[in-house]
């Protein structure tokens, strides 16, 4: 050891270079070993590196509060993991997500929609393949049965876990029904029953409000009517429409009669409703006593207005089963995330950790996971109990297949249906002309 | 811009790599019914709101050009809407004011008229957008005010001595001397008007209004780009808009020789 290769501070107190190296090495090893022990929590924590994860979802205040609490719990379990949260309404949610993905700025964990976004994003490689993590045990899917996992898969690859199940329903304003002394619909009922009830409500309300929202321009409501009437899905496997001018004419004529009778909301008031923005629904604004929405709408709409809300099935248009259960929303990880293992651990806790599940409760709807259902059953609020009972009631009957097709142009056709429906409602287009025009332009859009 | 031009010849969904399809996007523009509708709506919007806005701006500028006491605050007040006008907040307020339960209908109710939801009735929805545009007359008004100040007072005095009335003075002195400013405002307003997006997006809730009656060009472009992820098609639309605005501006410049009177025109009689 030559004395010129290091600094001497004091006589007789110099540290040899090799010894310095040895000390540094030992300290490094010791600190890392101590760090491992220091960060130890549950056994899974060993592979979870500290990270800041961005998580986005859509929903209202109650959901946001519950989700943040759940994330706080998860952060406490995995020290070093922190969250940046963003939430918004559903309108514009996926526009924003697409832009973020394109800009390389995608969030790590994202709440996903069943149709068409899951198939769209899954097939484009935007979402992380969760299969390997299930196999290694890093992702705990013990609460999900095969059907649930299948609903989160695209072409056999698991991209998302369903957080809740939902079904098409009629949302009833119980307060208004009670006010008028009219009995609520229960069990299965037909569209003729619906038409009669809407007229009855309008007459009894005497100008204060009308029977129902005008759903003639909403293709998702038409779809359920069509499935019940014909037993077929709207799109065949080749991606073509299966409905005819007769079907469309029957649908629009049914609503035109209700419009003439005055038992549904005026077209201009209905047109002010932006799809995806619940606060603009005439039903939420107190202008009608019935509307159509997914069953978990009972909870989401309840928080936007003061009256009590109840559920009924969507009226049946024929002898074929028309109610179906589909995931309300799902949770996914984006493929471009920098911390896949941490994200998987977080999602795993999100869907299987008992404390987390209790905090999340039913803010996303009736849970798809049986673990969650069992945990929550004893302590459900009255509203949540109604939700669970409704899903059980529907699931126990004959179910139709959930429409989950995703073809290019489907969103365009959806919007075309709304435009034609509005034109017919405003009297700018005759029903037969509108029906034919819709089918012609829809074929064009699907073939684009 | 070069990338956008390249993309207009591709199918690009923002998430995967673009693939070249030649002029297919431009060809589809020719047979897309929604595109035709958006062109129609935008042309009506520009053709009605710009002249209306300029007329209102000039009228108010004339009123406010006299230097009477307390005129300053008035000028500021009239200018205020154009500061706020293009914003999201104002569009939201507009949507509420002209909605079914809005203040406008309350006011109509005082006269016993039952109002409808003006923003979501196909016949009137574009009119609410035009009203919002005209409400922002403040910016051209301020420019007119400045120009009015430039006109030499001697011209009016000479005309008054010759016995000219107010209207004659306006037609023979004010208007001709203002033509360069009118031209300037016209070109500026036309270019901006074609690019209007926020009022259309907010008032229609992002849909283009009942049956596409408020589907302005830039809104349709945005919807195709970001909700349908058809970036190539949207890029083609952007370039066509550039061509349209360029052509109209060129036409305006070409015709300006006939009606714009510049003071330094030499010996033109």
**What secondary structure does DSSP assign to A327-387, as a single string?**
ES-EEEEBTT-S-HHHHHHHHHHHHH-HHHHHHHTTTTSEES-HHHHHHHGGG--HHHHHH
Which residue(s) pair with A388 in the sheet? none
Alpha carbon separation from A230 to A167, A242, A253, A317, A396 (Å, rounded): 19, 10, 17, 9, 21
Chain A CB contacts of B92 under 8 Å are none
C-beta of residue B125 within 8 angstroms of C-beta of residue A272: no
* Residue whose structure tokens are 């008028």: A180
Q: Rounded distance, CA A249 to CA B130, Å?
A: 36
pLDDT tens digits, one per residue of A134-175:
999 999 999 898 888 888 998 889 999 999 999 999 999 999
pLDDT value of position A25: 55
Question: Which residues is A86 bridged to in the sheet?
Answer: A56
> Which uninterrupted H or E stretch holds B231?
helix B231-259
| DSSP conformation class of A286 | T
- Burial letters A200-218, b for 16+ CB under 10 A, else e: ebbebbeeebbbbbbbbbb
pLDDT of residue A417: 96
Contacts of B205 in chain A (CB under 8 A): 91, 272, 274, 277, 280
Does any CB of chain A come closer than 8 Å to the CB of residue B205?
yes
Residue B101 has what pLDDT? Answer: 87
Using DSSP, state whether A43 is helix, strand or coil. helix
Tell me if residue A5 falls in helix, strand or coil: coil
Q: For residues B95 and A272, give the distance between their C-alpha atoms in angstroms, rounded to a whole number.
A: 9
Nearest CA distance, B137 vs chain A (angstrom): 27
Exposed, middle or buried, B212 (CB in 10 Å: 0-12/13-18/19+)? Answer: buried
Q: Decide: B139 and B78 in contact? Cβ < 8 Å.
A: no
Contact A422 B122 (CB under 8 A): yes
pLDDT in tens, B70-93: 788 888 888 888 887 778 999 999
Residue-level pLDDT at A134: 93
pLDDT at position A421:
96
Q: Please tell me which of the candidates B16, B28, B205 has its beta carbon nearest to residue A280.
A: B205
A102 → closest Cβ in B14, B99, B120 = B14
**Whole-angstrom distance, CA of residue A374 vs CA of residue A370:** 6
Examine the pLDDT at B29 and tell me if it is beyond 50: yes
Q: Give the tens place of pLDDT for each residue, B114-138.
A: 889 999 999 999 999 999 999 999 8
Question: Can you tell me the mean pLDDT for B27-48?
Answer: 96
- Quick check: A131 and A116 in contact, CB under 8 A? no
SS3 content of chain B, % helix, strand, coil (to 5): 70, 0, 25
- Does the beta-carbon distance from A272 to B28 stay under 8 Å? no
Check CB contact of B67 with chain A, cutoff 8 Å.
no
Q: Which residue positions in chain A have pLDDT lower than 50? A: 1-12, 30, 33-44
Going edge to edge, which strands form the sheet with A164-166?
Answer: A326-327, A164-166, A366-367
Chain B residues with CB under 8 Å of A270 CB are 120
Burial class of residue A254 (count of CB atoms within 10 Å of its CB; 0-12, 13-18, 19+):
middle
Measure CB to CB from residue B116 to each of A268, A274, A415 and give the nearest one.
A268
* DSSP classification of residue A127: B
Total-model pTM = 0.85
Q: Are A59 and A363 in contact (CB under 8 A)?
A: yes
d(CA A190, CA A34): 69
Look at residue A159 in the predicted model and tell me its pLDDT: 95
Decide: helix, strand or coil at residue B102. coil
């Amino acid at each position: 050891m030559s004395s010129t290769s290091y600094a001497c501070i004091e006589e007789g107190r110099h540290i040899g270079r090799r010894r310095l190296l040895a000390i540094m090495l030992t300290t490094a090893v010791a600190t890392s070993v101590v760090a491992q022990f220091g960060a130890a929590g549950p056994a899974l924590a060993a592979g979870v590196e500290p990270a800041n994860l961005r998580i986005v979802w859509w929903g209202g205040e109650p959901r946001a509060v519950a989700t943040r609490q759940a994330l706080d719990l998860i952060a406490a379990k995995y020290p070093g993991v922190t969250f940046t949260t963003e939430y918004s309404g559903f309108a514009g949610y996926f526009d924003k997500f697409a832009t973020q993905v394109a800009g390389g700025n995608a969030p790590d964990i994202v709440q996903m929609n069943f149709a068409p976004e899951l198939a769209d994003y899954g097939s484009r490689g935007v979402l992380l393949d969760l299969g390997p993590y299930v196999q290694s045990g890093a992702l705990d899917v013990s609460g999900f049965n095969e059907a649930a996992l299948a609903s989160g898969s695209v072409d056999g690859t698991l991209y998302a876990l369903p957080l809740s199940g939902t079904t098409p329903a009629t949302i009833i304003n119980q307060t208004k029904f009670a006010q008028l002394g009219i009995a609520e619909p229960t069990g299965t009922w037909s569209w003729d029953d619906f038409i009669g009830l809407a007229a009855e409500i309008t007459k009894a309300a005497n100008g204060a409000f009308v029977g129902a929202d005008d759903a003639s321009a909403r293709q998702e409501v038409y779809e359920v009517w069509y499935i019940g009437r014909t037993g077929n899905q709207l799109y065949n496997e080749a991606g073509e429409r299966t409905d005819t001018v007769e079907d469309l004419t029957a649908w629009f004529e049914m609503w035109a009669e209700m419009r003439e009778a005055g038992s549904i909301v005026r077209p201009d008031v209905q047109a002010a409703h932006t799809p995806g923005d619940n606060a603009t629904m005439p039903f939420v604004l107190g202008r009608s006593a019935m509307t159509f929405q997914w069953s978990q709408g009972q909870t989401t709409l309840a928080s936007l207005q003061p009256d009590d809300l109840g559920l009924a099935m969507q009226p049946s248009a024929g002898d074929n089963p028309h109610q179906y259960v589909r995931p309300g929303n799902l949770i996914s990880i984006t493929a471009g995330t920098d911390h896949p293992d941490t994200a998987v651990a977080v999602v795993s806790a999100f869907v299987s950790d008992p404390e987390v599940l209790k905090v999340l409760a039913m803010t996303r709807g009736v849970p798809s996971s049986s673990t969650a259902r069992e945990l929550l059953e004893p302590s459900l609020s009255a509203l949540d109990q109604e939700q669970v009972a409704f899903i059980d009631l529907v699931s126990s009957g004959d179910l139709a297949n959930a429409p989950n097709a995703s073809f290019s142009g489907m969103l365009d056709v959806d919007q075309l249906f709304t435009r034609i429906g509005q034109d017919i409602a405003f009297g700018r287009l005759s029903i037969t002309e509108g029906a034919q025009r819709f089918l012609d332009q829809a074929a064009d859009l699907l073939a684009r | 811009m070069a990338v956008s031009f390249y993309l207009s010849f591709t199918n690009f969904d923002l998430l995967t790599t673009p693939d070249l399809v030649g002029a297919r996007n431009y060809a589809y523009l020719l047979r897309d019914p929604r595109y035709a509708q958006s062109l129609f709506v935008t042309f009506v919007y520009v053709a009605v709101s710009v002249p209306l806005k300029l007329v209102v701006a000039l009228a108010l500028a004339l009123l406010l050009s006299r230097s009477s006491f307390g005129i300053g605050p008035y000028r500021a007040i009239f200018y205020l809407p154009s500061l706020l006008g293009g914003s999201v907040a104002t569009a939201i307020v507009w949507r509420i004011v002209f909605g079914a339960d809005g203040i406008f209908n309350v006011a109509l109710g005082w006269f016993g008229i039952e109002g409808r939801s003006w923003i979501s009735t196909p016949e009137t929805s574009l009119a609410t957008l035009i009203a919002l545009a005209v409400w922002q007359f403040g910016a051209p008004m301020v420019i007119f005010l400045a120009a009015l100040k430039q006109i030499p007072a001697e011209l009016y005095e000479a005309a008054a001595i010759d016995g000219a009335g107010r209207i004659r003075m306006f037609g023979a002195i004010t208007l001709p001397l203002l033509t360069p400013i009118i031209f300037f405002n016209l070109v500026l307003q036309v270019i901006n008007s074609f690019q209007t997006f926020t009022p259309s997006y907010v008032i229609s809730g992002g849909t283009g209004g009942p049956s596409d009656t408020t589907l302005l060009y830039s809104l349709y472009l945005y919807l195709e780009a970001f909700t349908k992820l058809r970036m190539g098609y949207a890029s083609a639309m952007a370039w066509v808009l550039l061509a349209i605005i360029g052509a109209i501006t060129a036409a305006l410049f070409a015709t300006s020789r006939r009606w714009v009177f510049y003071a330094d025109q030499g010996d033109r009689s």
